[in-house]
Structures are given as C-alpha cells and as structure tokens.
C-alpha cells in the first residue's frame, strides 16, 4: 500500500538543545492534530538522533540524513548504516542534491549507500532531481530516469519495497521558487511509469513519491492533491513546528 509521508530534513541546522526543543514541539503538535493521513518523519543531524528519538512518541519517526557507503572500518568521520540501526533509527535520506553537489556523491556511491542501508534493515528516502539548466534545456526526464536507474535499479523487487523516492528539483530547493503542482505532477507520473517499467505497475502504484523544494504550509495542499504526489520532503519549513504541522495536515 502506498503511504503518504511528510518528512522534515533539518540539514545542518539547530544546536542540540534547539533540536530537542523543536522535536518536542513537533511531537506535541502531532499529538494534538489527532488522526493524520500521513506518516511523520524528522531527519535531524547525526549528533541529535538519539536525543531527538527520546523526545518524540510513536507518531513521529526519526531518520538520518546520510550514511556511509562502507560497512565499518577506517573511514574517519563516517557513520555506518549499522550504527544508525543500532540507535533505533528506521530510515535514512540518501542522494540529496546537496550531497551530490557539495560532496561529489555519484550514482555509484549512492547505490552502495543504499545497499548498506537496506542490508541493515533501514528504509531509504532516495532523492533525485534536475538542475535548472537541465530543466531549461528539457533534459529533466532523462536526468531523473538515469538517477533512478543508476542508483536503484540493481535492487530486487523485495528490496524495492523499502524505497521511497523524493523528487527535488535542485532549482526549487531553498529558493522559494517551488515547482508548480503541474510541473511536479508531470515528473512524478514519469517516475512512477519508470518504476512500473522495471518492477511492474503494482509495485509502482505502491511506491511513495515525495516532492521537495520550497514546499511550505501554503502550497502543500495543492501539491499533495496531485495523484502522484504522496507527500513532501521539507527543508526550511520543517525548522518551525507550526509551519511543519501546517504541511503535515495539508492532505
Ligand atoms: P527547502 O524546503 O528548504 O526548499 O528544501 C528542500 C529540501 O532540500 C529537502 O530535502
């Protein structure tokens, strides 16, 4: 069954005490909101994961923003998927455009990270999306297709069940320039069709595909009303409990 998800990616924001406070505020707001149509996920920095996990109840789950491509060993500064699993973390964001751009993470590296995460029992929120020049020259379908094929299509149908896709056009991230609901829906439908071509229509219909990029409490409702948009991966607007809950309740 396809699930609706709203996930907050805090990126490199909030000192520890601020992060715990935000998690507590989100938890209270989620409890107050009653029955929700979506799962709620927050992804704080590594350092905050354990404390933030203690600050939320069972209606909010905690994800990491990254994991290592290797299982263990002499990789200074890295955090393995197994460590995340041992800390009770259920899922991990892989392939965010900031990781691809600032840290040179290639499709091959992301495929390895995904393999590590899945083998440790984590779910993966796998990010894809084109840059502005690729949108302008009409190559965006080719770009998202190759990111999915190269990053994920080595997975078995069984492994695929633990994958969530996040379509985040790079030109919409942190710019205030969100994709229109029609632009987002067009790409989401294409992504679902691409998945169907590999894993079959039922698997594609069951796959959660999130939109990310300047999604906020004002535009979420229209975006989430699209048939192939199953929620959002939220940056800036996830750093304030009030805004984030406005998105969580936008279905
Ligand atoms: P913004 O919501 O700040 O545009 O960030 C989106 C994003 O990158 C989420 O991963």
The tens digit of pLDDT for each residue in 143-188 reads 999 999 999 999 999 999 999 999 999 999 999 899 999 999 999 9
The tens digit of pLDDT for each residue in 238-249 reads 999 999 999 999
Q: CB atoms < 10 A from the CB of 182, how many?
A: 9
* Residue 246: CA count within 13 A, CB half-sphere: 14
Question: What's the alpha-carbon Rg for the chain, to the nearest Å?
Answer: 17
Q: Is 96 labeled as catalytic in the residue annotation?
A: yes
Centre of ligand 1 from the C-alpha of residue 20, in Å = 20
122/23 Cα distance (integer angstroms): 21
Task: State if residue 219 touches ligand 1 by the CB under 6 angstroms criterion.
Answer: no
Task: State if residue 207 touches ligand 1 by the CB under 6 angstroms criterion.
Answer: no
The tens digit of pLDDT for each residue in 80-101 reads 999 999 999 999 999 999 999 9
Domains and CATH numbers, the chain: 5-248 (3.20.20.70)
Task: State if residue 174 touches ligand 1 by the CB under 6 angstroms criterion.
Answer: yes
Residue 109 has pLDDT above 90, yes or no: yes
Task: State if residue 216 touches ligand 1 by the CB under 6 angstroms criterion.
Answer: no
Task: State if residue 96 touches ligand 1 by the CB under 6 angstroms criterion.
Answer: yes
| Residue 96 CA, closest ligand 1 atom number | 10
Q: Which of 102, 233, 237, 239 to mutate to test the pocket of ligand 1 (most atoms within 8 A of CB)?
A: 233
* Predicted pLDDT of residue 1: 81
Phi-psi region of 95 (alpha: psi -120 to 50; beta: other; left: phi over 0): left
Centre of ligand 1 from the C-alpha of residue 215, in Å = 7
Q: Are 66 and 78 in contact, with CB atoms under 8 Å apart?
A: no
Q: Is 154 labeled as catalytic in the residue annotation?
A: no
134/234 Cα distance (integer angstroms): 22
Q: Which of 234, 239, 250 to mutate to test the pocket of ligand 1 (most atoms within 8 A of CB)?
A: 234
């Amino acid at each position: 069954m396809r699930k609706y998800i709203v996930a907050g990616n805090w990126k490199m924001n909030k000192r520890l005490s601020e992060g715990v406070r935000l998690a507590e505020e989100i938890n209270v707001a989620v409890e107050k909101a009653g029955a929700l149509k979506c799962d709620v996920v927050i992804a704080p920095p590594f350092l905050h994961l354990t404390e933030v996990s203690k600050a939320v109840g069972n209606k909010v789950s905690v994800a990491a923003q990254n994991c290592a491509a290797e299982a263990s060993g002499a990789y200074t500064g890295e955090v393995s998927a197994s460590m995340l699993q041992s800390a009770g973390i259920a899922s991990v964001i892989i392939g965010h455009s900031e990781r691809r751009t600032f840290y040179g993470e290639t499709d091959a590296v992301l495929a390895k990270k995904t393999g590590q995460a899945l083998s440790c029992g984590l779910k993966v929120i796998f990010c894809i999306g084109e840059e502005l020049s690729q949108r302008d020259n009409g190559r965006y379908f080719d770009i998202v297709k190759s990111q999915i094929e190269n990053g994920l299509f080595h997975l078995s149908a069984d492994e695929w069940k633990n994958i969530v896709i996040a379509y985040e056009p790079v030109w919409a991230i942190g710019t205030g320039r969100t994709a229109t609901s029609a632009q987002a829906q067009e790409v989401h439908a294409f992504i679902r069709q691409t998945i169907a071509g590999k894993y079959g229509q039922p698997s594609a219909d069951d796959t959660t595909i999130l939109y990310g990029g300047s999604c906020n409490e004002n535009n979420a409702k229209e975006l989430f009303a699209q048939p192939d948009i199953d929620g959002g991966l939220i940056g800036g607007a996830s750093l304030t409990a009030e805004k984030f809950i406005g998105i969580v309740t936008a279905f």
